[in-house]
Structure 1
Amino acid sequence: MSPAYISALSALFGSLIGAFASVATTWLTQHHQDETRRLAQQNARRERVFVEFIDLSSKAFVDALQQTSIGDAKHVMSLYATMGKLRLFASIRTIEAAERVMDRIIATYYSPGLDTQTRPELDRKSDVLREFAECCRAELRP
């Protein structure tokens, strides 16, 4: 084989290797950007459902404190609908915390109403959404 052919083949293979490296780098960069975008969209979706559950739970809990039974089921039904959304996107730990919130709200509906004339004893157990919010924060943390 003549030295001219060796030089030409070397240049050709060098160009091919350079082109392959460029294509591989571009593909890896694009793949990483797509994965990052997908994770950001998933977190945004979870965050919207978590906020929706917190809002609805707060309204239902206030209603439950004022009632001695479920008079208008719309508060509870919207919570059940949001719970279904949570089951699609949230972790098991977060779902279990949400179920405990719902159980507490239902139990509050059938307990004596809140006496607004006396100051109730407050402690960490009074915050029905604390555990759920902590689970959500842990789940949204990168």
Structure 2
Amino acid sequence: MNSSLISALAALVGAGIGGLTSVLASWLTQHTQVKAEWLAHDRARRQEVYREFIEDASKCYVHALQHNEPDLATLGSVFAKIARIRVQSSADVVTEADRIGRRIVDTYLAPDKRFEELRDMLANNSIDILGPFSDACRAEFEKLRAQQF
């Protein structure tokens, strides 16, 4: 075999390997960036629905503490947000959101609270129905952050 043929063949194989390595590195970089962008978008979407749920659930709970007749529009919004949470969240977050929805409905069925009772509920921290939900959301975000790296 001719030495110039071997040199040409080696150059060709080297160029092929170099090109393949470049393509593979570009693909890996692109794949990593797409995954990071998707996780960031997913996190932002969850944060938005959690924020909306917390706001609606808070309003509805305060209304339930003061009235026996439910605010159906807000209550419906709370349960719509629970359905959205169910689609995209972990089981722990869904469980806590469901618990909040049931607690609000039960509160409407209970007698109205006087201001003194609300103060007592605040003092013994029984008025905070969103704490465990917030904790579950925080744990979920920590898991998502760990997946990013």
Structure with larger RCO (C-alpha < 8 A, sep 6+)? 1
Within-5 A mapping of 1:123-142: 123-141=124-142, 142=145
Shift of 1:68: 2.2
Shift of 1:65: 0.8
Give identity over the alignment, percent.
Answer: 38
Shift of 1:26: 0.4
Which residue in the other structure is 2:6 paired with?
6
Q: Distance in 1 between matches of 2:17 and 2:115?
A: 78
Q: Distance in 2 between matches of 1:107 and 1:140?
A: 30
CA contact (8 A) 1:47 1:140 kept: no
What is the TM-score when the length of structure 1 is the normalising length? 0.93
CA-atom RMSD in angstroms: 1.3
Shift of 1:116: 1.2
* 5+ long unaligned stretches in structure 1: none
SS for the counterpart of 1:85 is: helix
Shift of 1:110: 1.3
SS for the counterpart of 1:112 is: coil
* 5+ long unaligned stretches in structure 2: none
Q: Distance in 2 between matches of 1:17 and 1:104?
A: 64
Q: Distance in 1 between matches of 2:115 and 2:124?
A: 17
Q: Distance in 2 between matches of 1:14 and 1:124?
A: 70
Within-5 A mapping of 1:1-142: 1-70=1-70, 72-117=71-116, 119-121=119-121, 122-141=123-142, 142=145
Q: Kindly provide the CA deviation profile for residues 2-51 of structure 1, in whole angstroms up to 9, marking residues without a partner as x.
A: 11111111111111111110110001000110011011111111111111
Shift of 1:109: 0.9
Q: Kindly provide the CA deviation profile for residues 105-135 of structure 1, in whole angstroms up to 9, marking residues without a partner as x.
A: 1111111211114631433433100000111
Q: Distance in 2 between matches of 1:123 and 1:14?
A: 74
Normalized per residue, the structure richer in helix is 2
What is the TM-score when the length of structure 2 is the normalising length? 0.89
